[in-house]
Amino acid sequence: MNQNVQAVSRTRESVLATNSLLRNTYILLSLTLLFSAATAVVAMATNAAMPNVWLVLGGYFALLFLTNWLRNSAWGILSVFALTGFMGYTLGPVLNLYVTHYGNGGQLVAYAMGATGTIFLGLSGYALSTRKDFSFMGGFIMAGILIAFIAAVANIFLALPALALVVSSMFVLLMCGLILHQTSAIVHGGETNYIMATVTLYVAIYNLFTSLLHLLGVFSNDD
Protein backbone atom coordinates (compact mmCIF):
# COMPACT_ATOMS: atom_id res chain seq x y z
CA MET A 1 0.00 0.00 0.00
CA ASN A 2 2.79 2.39 0.92
CA GLN A 3 4.52 1.65 -2.36
CA ASN A 4 1.35 2.48 -4.29
CA VAL A 5 0.96 5.74 -2.39
CA GLN A 6 4.58 6.66 -3.06
CA ALA A 7 4.20 5.81 -6.77
CA VAL A 8 1.09 8.00 -7.04
CA SER A 9 2.89 10.78 -5.17
CA ARG A 10 5.89 10.62 -7.51
CA THR A 11 3.62 10.61 -10.55
CA ARG A 12 1.74 13.64 -9.24
CA GLU A 13 5.00 15.47 -8.55
CA SER A 14 6.22 14.64 -12.04
CA VAL A 15 3.03 15.96 -13.63
CA LEU A 16 3.19 19.15 -11.57
CA ALA A 17 6.83 19.66 -12.51
CA THR A 18 6.06 19.16 -16.20
CA ASN A 19 3.10 21.55 -16.07
CA SER A 20 5.24 24.15 -14.32
CA LEU A 21 7.99 23.77 -16.91
CA LEU A 22 5.51 24.12 -19.76
CA ARG A 23 3.90 27.18 -18.19
CA ASN A 24 7.21 28.92 -17.53
CA THR A 25 8.52 28.06 -21.00
CA TYR A 26 5.51 29.36 -22.89
CA ILE A 27 5.25 32.50 -20.75
CA LEU A 28 8.91 33.33 -21.33
CA LEU A 29 8.65 32.38 -25.01
CA SER A 30 5.67 34.70 -25.49
CA LEU A 31 7.47 37.58 -23.80
CA THR A 32 10.66 37.08 -25.79
CA LEU A 33 8.75 36.87 -29.07
CA LEU A 34 7.00 40.15 -28.25
CA PHE A 35 10.32 41.75 -27.30
CA SER A 36 11.96 40.44 -30.46
CA ALA A 37 9.09 41.82 -32.55
CA ALA A 38 9.43 45.19 -30.79
CA THR A 39 13.15 45.44 -31.55
CA ALA A 40 12.47 44.46 -35.16
CA VAL A 41 9.91 47.26 -35.43
CA VAL A 42 12.42 49.72 -33.97
CA ALA A 43 15.02 48.64 -36.52
CA MET A 44 12.50 49.02 -39.33
CA ALA A 45 11.30 52.42 -38.13
CA THR A 46 14.86 53.75 -37.87
CA ASN A 47 15.92 52.22 -41.19
CA ALA A 48 18.75 50.34 -39.53
CA ALA A 49 21.48 49.22 -41.92
CA MET A 50 21.69 45.61 -43.02
CA PRO A 51 24.02 43.97 -40.48
CA ASN A 52 27.13 42.08 -41.47
CA VAL A 53 26.37 38.36 -41.54
CA TRP A 54 29.51 37.54 -39.53
CA LEU A 55 28.50 40.06 -36.88
CA VAL A 56 25.07 38.44 -36.63
CA LEU A 57 26.53 34.95 -36.34
CA GLY A 58 29.13 36.07 -33.81
CA GLY A 59 26.56 37.91 -31.70
CA TYR A 60 24.14 35.01 -31.86
CA PHE A 61 26.61 32.35 -30.77
CA ALA A 62 28.13 34.58 -28.08
CA LEU A 63 24.72 35.33 -26.55
CA LEU A 64 23.68 31.70 -26.92
CA PHE A 65 26.79 30.61 -25.02
CA LEU A 66 26.14 33.24 -22.35
CA THR A 67 22.53 32.11 -21.95
CA ASN A 68 23.58 28.50 -21.61
CA TRP A 69 26.17 29.48 -18.99
CA LEU A 70 23.60 31.49 -17.00
CA ARG A 71 20.69 29.10 -17.51
CA ASN A 72 20.38 28.23 -13.81
CA SER A 73 20.30 31.81 -12.55
CA ALA A 74 18.03 34.83 -12.84
CA TRP A 75 20.65 36.42 -15.09
CA GLY A 76 19.78 33.75 -17.64
CA ILE A 77 16.41 35.42 -18.20
CA LEU A 78 18.11 38.73 -19.01
CA SER A 79 20.45 36.87 -21.35
CA VAL A 80 17.47 35.34 -23.16
CA PHE A 81 16.01 38.80 -23.73
CA ALA A 82 19.41 40.06 -24.92
CA LEU A 83 19.61 37.18 -27.40
CA THR A 84 16.07 37.50 -28.73
CA GLY A 85 16.23 41.29 -28.80
CA PHE A 86 19.45 41.14 -30.79
CA MET A 87 17.99 38.66 -33.27
CA GLY A 88 14.85 40.73 -33.63
CA TYR A 89 16.82 43.92 -34.27
CA THR A 90 18.99 42.28 -36.94
CA LEU A 91 15.82 40.93 -38.56
CA GLY A 92 14.35 44.42 -38.95
CA PRO A 93 16.50 45.44 -41.97
CA VAL A 94 15.67 42.13 -43.65
CA LEU A 95 11.96 42.80 -43.26
CA ASN A 96 12.44 46.32 -44.64
CA LEU A 97 14.18 44.81 -47.65
CA TYR A 98 11.19 42.56 -48.36
CA VAL A 99 8.71 45.40 -47.88
CA THR A 100 10.58 47.69 -50.29
CA HIS A 101 11.80 45.10 -52.81
CA TYR A 102 8.51 43.26 -53.34
CA GLY A 103 5.28 44.96 -54.34
CA ASN A 104 3.47 42.63 -51.97
CA GLY A 105 6.26 42.54 -49.40
CA GLY A 106 3.97 43.36 -46.52
CA GLN A 107 1.72 40.46 -47.45
CA LEU A 108 4.68 38.10 -47.72
CA VAL A 109 5.78 39.01 -44.21
CA ALA A 110 2.23 38.55 -42.92
CA TYR A 111 1.86 35.20 -44.68
CA ALA A 112 5.18 33.95 -43.31
CA MET A 113 4.24 35.10 -39.82
CA GLY A 114 0.81 33.47 -40.01
CA ALA A 115 2.21 30.23 -41.39
CA THR A 116 4.88 30.14 -38.69
CA GLY A 117 2.33 30.64 -35.93
CA THR A 118 0.00 28.02 -37.37
CA ILE A 119 2.78 25.46 -37.77
CA PHE A 120 4.12 26.06 -34.27
CA LEU A 121 0.72 25.82 -32.60
CA GLY A 122 -0.20 22.75 -34.64
CA LEU A 123 3.01 20.85 -33.95
CA SER A 124 3.15 21.84 -30.27
CA GLY A 125 -0.49 20.90 -29.82
CA TYR A 126 0.11 17.55 -31.49
CA ALA A 127 3.12 16.76 -29.30
CA LEU A 128 1.28 17.81 -26.14
CA SER A 129 -1.98 16.04 -26.91
CA THR A 130 -0.53 12.74 -28.14
CA ARG A 131 2.35 12.66 -25.61
CA LYS A 132 4.44 10.85 -28.21
CA ASP A 133 8.16 10.60 -27.55
CA PHE A 134 10.09 12.26 -30.38
CA SER A 135 13.51 11.85 -28.75
CA PHE A 136 14.53 9.48 -31.55
CA MET A 137 14.62 12.50 -33.89
CA GLY A 138 17.36 14.26 -31.95
CA GLY A 139 20.40 12.90 -33.80
CA PHE A 140 18.83 13.35 -37.22
CA ILE A 141 17.80 16.93 -36.46
CA MET A 142 21.22 17.94 -35.12
CA ALA A 143 22.99 16.37 -38.10
CA GLY A 144 20.57 18.05 -40.50
CA ILE A 145 21.01 21.45 -38.85
CA LEU A 146 24.79 21.13 -39.05
CA ILE A 147 24.65 20.24 -42.75
CA ALA A 148 22.20 23.04 -43.53
CA PHE A 149 24.25 25.56 -41.54
CA ILE A 150 27.47 24.61 -43.35
CA ALA A 151 25.66 24.87 -46.69
CA ALA A 152 24.27 28.29 -45.72
CA VAL A 153 27.74 29.56 -44.74
CA ALA A 154 29.22 28.19 -47.97
CA ASN A 155 26.51 29.95 -49.97
CA ILE A 156 27.61 33.28 -48.52
CA PHE A 157 30.60 32.92 -50.86
CA LEU A 158 28.95 30.92 -53.64
CA ALA A 159 25.74 32.98 -53.86
CA LEU A 160 23.82 30.20 -55.63
CA PRO A 161 20.05 30.85 -55.68
CA ALA A 162 19.30 27.12 -56.03
CA LEU A 163 21.40 26.27 -52.96
CA ALA A 164 19.71 29.04 -50.96
CA LEU A 165 16.36 27.53 -51.88
CA VAL A 166 17.48 24.06 -50.78
CA VAL A 167 18.83 25.41 -47.48
CA SER A 168 15.59 27.26 -46.71
CA SER A 169 13.56 24.15 -47.50
CA MET A 170 15.81 22.07 -45.24
CA PHE A 171 15.44 24.54 -42.40
CA VAL A 172 11.65 24.52 -42.66
CA LEU A 173 11.59 20.74 -42.27
CA LEU A 174 14.28 20.68 -39.58
CA MET A 175 12.66 23.42 -37.49
CA CYS A 176 9.33 21.57 -37.61
CA GLY A 177 11.16 18.52 -36.30
CA LEU A 178 12.90 20.61 -33.64
CA ILE A 179 9.57 21.95 -32.36
CA LEU A 180 8.24 18.40 -32.01
CA HIS A 181 11.46 17.19 -30.40
CA GLN A 182 11.74 20.04 -27.88
CA THR A 183 8.09 19.92 -26.88
CA SER A 184 8.36 16.17 -26.41
CA ALA A 185 11.53 16.65 -24.33
CA ILE A 186 9.65 18.98 -21.99
CA VAL A 187 6.80 16.51 -21.60
CA HIS A 188 8.99 13.44 -21.07
CA GLY A 189 11.68 15.00 -18.89
CA GLY A 190 14.39 15.30 -21.51
CA GLU A 191 14.48 19.06 -20.86
CA THR A 192 14.08 20.43 -17.33
CA ASN A 193 15.34 24.01 -17.77
CA TYR A 194 12.70 26.43 -19.04
CA ILE A 195 15.29 28.99 -20.12
CA MET A 196 16.98 26.57 -22.51
CA ALA A 197 13.61 25.21 -23.64
CA THR A 198 12.57 28.77 -24.47
CA VAL A 199 15.76 29.45 -26.42
CA THR A 200 15.39 26.26 -28.45
CA LEU A 201 11.78 26.99 -29.35
CA TYR A 202 12.58 30.63 -30.15
CA VAL A 203 15.40 29.62 -32.49
CA ALA A 204 13.08 27.13 -34.18
CA ILE A 205 10.38 29.77 -34.66
CA TYR A 206 12.89 32.38 -35.86
CA ASN A 207 14.47 30.08 -38.44
CA LEU A 208 11.10 28.74 -39.53
CA PHE A 209 9.83 32.28 -40.12
CA THR A 210 12.89 33.50 -42.03
CA SER A 211 13.01 30.34 -44.14
CA LEU A 212 9.33 30.55 -45.04
CA LEU A 213 9.75 34.23 -45.85
CA HIS A 214 12.61 33.43 -48.21
CA LEU A 215 10.63 30.68 -49.92
CA LEU A 216 7.60 32.94 -50.32
CA GLY A 217 9.83 35.64 -51.78
CA VAL A 218 11.35 33.22 -54.29
CA PHE A 219 7.99 31.97 -55.48
CA SER A 220 6.33 35.38 -55.42
CA ASN A 221 5.01 36.55 -58.75
CA ASP A 222 6.47 39.97 -58.03
CA ASP A 223 10.00 38.61 -57.67
Q: Give the per-residue pLDDT at 9.
A: 47
Is residue 137 in a domain? yes
Range of the domain at 207: 14-218
pLDDT beyond 90 at 221: no
In sequence order, which residues have a C-beta less than 8 Å from that of residue 132 and are 6 or more positions away?
A: 184
Q: Give the per-residue pLDDT at 6.
A: 44
Per-residue pLDDT of 1-45, as tens digits, reads: 555 444 444 455 566 778 899 999 999 999 999 999 999 999 999
Count how many domains the chain has.
Answer: 1
Is residue 2 in a domain? no
Could you give the CA distance from residue 4 to residue 11 in angstroms, rounded to a whole number? 11
Mean pLDDT of the chain: 91
Say what percent of the chain tops pLDDT 90. Answer: 84
Is residue 1 in a domain? no
Could you give the CA distance from residue 36 to residue 210 in angstroms, rounded to a whole number? 14
Is residue 4 in a domain? no
Predicted model pTM: 0.92
Is residue 9 in a domain? no
Could you give the CA distance from residue 26 to residue 102 in angstroms, rounded to a whole number? 34
∠ CA(106), CA(58), CA(64), 5° rounding?
A: 85
Helix (H, G, I), strand (E, B) or coil at 71: coil
- Give the pLDDT mean for 206-211: 98
Q: Give the per-residue pLDDT at 105.
A: 86
